[in-house]
Amino acid sequence: MDSTRPIGVFDSGIGGLTVVRALMERLPLERIVYFGDTARVPYGIKSVATIEHFTAQITDFLLQQNVKMLIVACNTMAAVAADVVRQRAGDIPVLDVIEAGARAAVAESRSRSIGVIGTPTTVNSNAYARRIHALDPGVRVYSQACPLFVPLVEEGWLDHPVTRLTAQEYLKPVLAEEVDSLVLGCTHYPLLKPLLREVLGPGVRLVDSAITTAELAAAKLHALGIASSHAGPAGYRFVVTDVPLRFQTIGERFLGRSLGAVEKVEW
Amino acid sequence: MDSTRPIGVFDSGIGGLTVVRALMERLPLERIVYFGDTARVPYGIKSVATIEHFTAQITDFLLQQNVKMLIVACNTMAAVAADVVRQRAGDIPVLDVIEAGARAAVAESRSRSIGVIGTPTTVNSNAYARRIHALDPGVRVYSQACPLFVPLVEEGWLDHPVTRLTAQEYLKPVLAEEVDSLVLGCTHYPLLKPLLREVLGPGVRLVDSAITTAELAAAKLHALGIASSHAGPAGYRFVVTDVPLRFQTIGERFLGRSLGAVEKVEW
């Protein structure tokens, strides 16, 4: 396979840009095509059938862009529709944030008691617990849905009394279970890391699946011999289904740098 | 026109059920077809072009159901796409929550200083200020986007310290302007009335556009001679594009009674 082909990364909206950011840092020579379904975001409150249908559409679009690897950078899609992606992808390798997060959590936890936070759909799918138990059946997993974290991040209230109070409320039952690792099971959550560290205290390590996904992608590309070795400037494309108000501001907060030109597709 | 034809009410999701509830109480003999675009909700964070496109689809669907009146029960659609509805509706009368809210606010305000709260798209459209000024150019209008209120209502935190703190923060600039009326410019907000009354104090009257829309609908139906006089049981249909987790629970909280069977359309 031609190693100069891009990596396809997709999410229901802009949260997956935290994964792109980690990929840019870990794999600076790779080309990336990012797809964000901003016209239909958020997925976390939708039914499984609808999420599968949307996921299939996005997968087909990225396969048409001739990607060499697909990364499901949306926990909700990874939780309920990863099989849809793998079926359509054929020989193209597929990674997802849940696989990456589960592996990192099992590797890091000493107490073998792991917390997972995510959207209602991700948590109700039980996908993290299943992946973690497939790796180590003896680990205890405590999950908590945090539906307000996404809107709080998008409001930019990253260090705000409302967000702190919300985090205290959501994390109380998780803390009561004495977990030593907490998986950030939603791509929006890495932006809350400083506040979550404060609320959780020093006894709990945060597992940022954006970073762990980039690590897994690097290992997989090298194992398959398709990592880019081209020293030229990497090419980044950002494709969305809608360019709403505040898109640039919020997107750049996630990406940690300028987004440049954004392409909009019409469906 | 046949007065037994139903009224078509639509929203981006389930918030418009607060308008249906008000219609059921004010006009118990009317049949209602409700359409909620739950697969693509929320609209308040999407672009104008996308909202116009979605609105046109929904309008066409309801016209096919042979409705005698259309009610745009979504402030975001009313703010940016009411003309799309009116163009397609032809002779069928069209009401919208912004028209109704603006009229009621102008009628109720003594100080002629009116506050409006809504989603970012509604507030940025300036639709309330334009409608209010068309009725009375001398009224001062202060608008405030409250993007977290919708997710807080859907989380069910109607009387919660986080919601109170959020309301205090959002309403501080509005209170500073000494308004005497506050238009609830989003169909989710009527569920926050008790908490908002507490935060605002006795000097500010809340304008609930669900109730004012039902009043306007009653007046219009009678003026046109198409109000239903049939004393049989009224028929209610609820059509959505997705039936997500917690739909029944949240929907019944909005409607104030059982939803019964919900139909799902595939697009």
My answer on whether A157 and A30 are in the same domain is no
**How far apart are the CA of A142 and the nearest CA of chain B, in angstroms?**
20
Instruction: Show residues of chain B in contact with A120, CB under 8 Å.
Output: 245-246
Select from B30, B220, B1 the least CA-distant residue to B91. B1
Distance between CA atoms of A149 and A167, rounded to whole angstroms? 8
The residue segments making up the domain with residue A144 are 98-209
The string of pLDDT tens digits covering residues B13-64 is 999 999 999 999 999 999 999 999 998 888 877 888 999 999 999 999 999 9
B74 annotated active-site: yes
My answer on whether B169 and B38 are in the same domain is no
For chain A, strand residue ranges (E) read 7-11, 32-36, 69-72, 94-96, 113-118, 140-145, 181-184, 205-208, 236-240, 263-264
Per-chain mean pLDDT for chain B: 93
Q: Is B76 annotated as a binding residue?
A: yes
My answer on whether B242 and B143 are in the same domain is no
Adjacent-strand bridge partners of B118: B145
The whole-number average pLDDT for the span B119-144 is 94
Q: Is B12 annotated as a binding residue?
A: yes
Residues of A with CB under 8 A from a CB of B: 38-41, 45-47, 49-50, 120-121, 124, 147-148, 150-152, 154-155, 161-162, 165-166, 169, 241-246
Residue at A2 is within a domain: no
Identify the residue among A38, A166, A262 best suited for mutation to test binding to B, counting B beta carbons within 10 A and taking the highest.
A166
pLDDT at B115: 97
User: Which position among B7, B33, B74, B239 bears the catalytic label?
Assistant: B74
A140 contact partners, CB below 8 Å, separation of at least 6: A112, A113, A114, A177
> Which of B46, B169, B244 faces A162 most closely, judged by CB atoms?
B169
Which residue matches tokens 């020093």?
A202
pLDDT at B150: 92
My answer on whether A22 and A48 are in the same domain is yes
Q: Is B43 annotated as a binding residue?
A: yes
pLDDT at B46: 84
The whole-number average pLDDT for the span B140-165 is 95
Select from B133, B79, B64, B62 the least CA-distant residue to B103. B133
My answer on whether B205 and B108 are in the same domain is yes
pLDDT at B231: 66
**How far apart are the CA of A266 and the nearest CA of chain B, in angstroms?**
9
My answer on whether B41 and B127 are in the same domain is no
My answer on whether A162 and A228 are in the same domain is no
Neighbours of B111 (CB within 10 A): 13
A146 annotated active-site: no
Cβ distance A253 to A191 under 8 Å? Answer: yes
Residue at B1 is within a domain: no
**How far apart are the CA of B227 and the nearest CA of chain A, in angstroms?**
37
B21 contact partners, CB below 8 Å, separation of at least 6: B210, B254, B255, B256, B257
Residue at B2 is within a domain: no
Identify the residue among A40, A43, A47 best suited for mutation to test binding to B, counting B beta carbons within 10 A and taking the highest.
A47
- A31-46 exposure pattern, b = at least 16 Cβ within 10 A, e = fewer: bbbbbbbbbbbbbbbb
My answer on whether A78 and A121 are in the same domain is no
The string of pLDDT tens digits covering residues B184-238 is 999 999 999 999 999 999 999 999 989 999 999 999 999 999 999 876 666 999 9
Summarize chain B as % helix, strand, coil (round to 5): 50, 15, 35
Cβ distance B152 to B90 under 8 Å? Answer: no
User: Which position among B186, B195, B207, B255 bears the catalytic label?
Assistant: B186
Instruction: Show residues of chain B in contact with A147, CB under 8 Å.
Output: 151, 154-155
Residue at A11 is within a domain: yes
Rounded to the nearest 10°, the torsion over CA B186, B72, B257, B263 is -120
pLDDT at A154: 87
pLDDT at A233: 64
| pLDDT under 50: residue ranges of chain A | none
Estimate the crossing angle of helix B247-255 against helix B17-26, to 10 degrees. 40
Q: What's the Cα-to-Cα distance from A116 to each of A97, A127, A142, A161, A253, rounded to whole Å?
A: 13, 10, 6, 23, 24
pLDDT at B245: 65
Q: What is the pTM of this model?
A: 0.88
Boundary of a domain, candidates B186, B209, B232: B209
Instruction: Show residues of chain B in contact with A124, CB under 8 Å.
Output: 245
Give the CA diameter of chain A. Answer: 51
My answer on whether B109 and B202 are in the same domain is yes
pLDDT at B232: 62
**Residues of A at the annotated binding site?**
11-12, 43-44, 75-76, 187-188
Summarize chain A as % helix, strand, coil (round to 5): 50, 15, 35
Distance between CA atoms of B148 and B170, rounded to whole angstroms? 10
My answer on whether B198 and B108 are in the same domain is yes
pLDDT at B229: 86
> Which of A40, A151, A246 faces B40 most closely, judged by CB atoms?
A40
My answer on whether B104 and B78 are in the same domain is no
Which residue matches tokens 């990929």?
A23
The whole-number average pLDDT for the span B87-98 is 97
My answer on whether B177 and B119 are in the same domain is yes
pLDDT at A213: 97
Complex ipTM > 0.90: no
Residue count of chain A, please give it.
267
CATH number of the domain that B196 lies in? 3.40.50.1860
pLDDT at B230: 75
* Structural domain count of chain B: 2
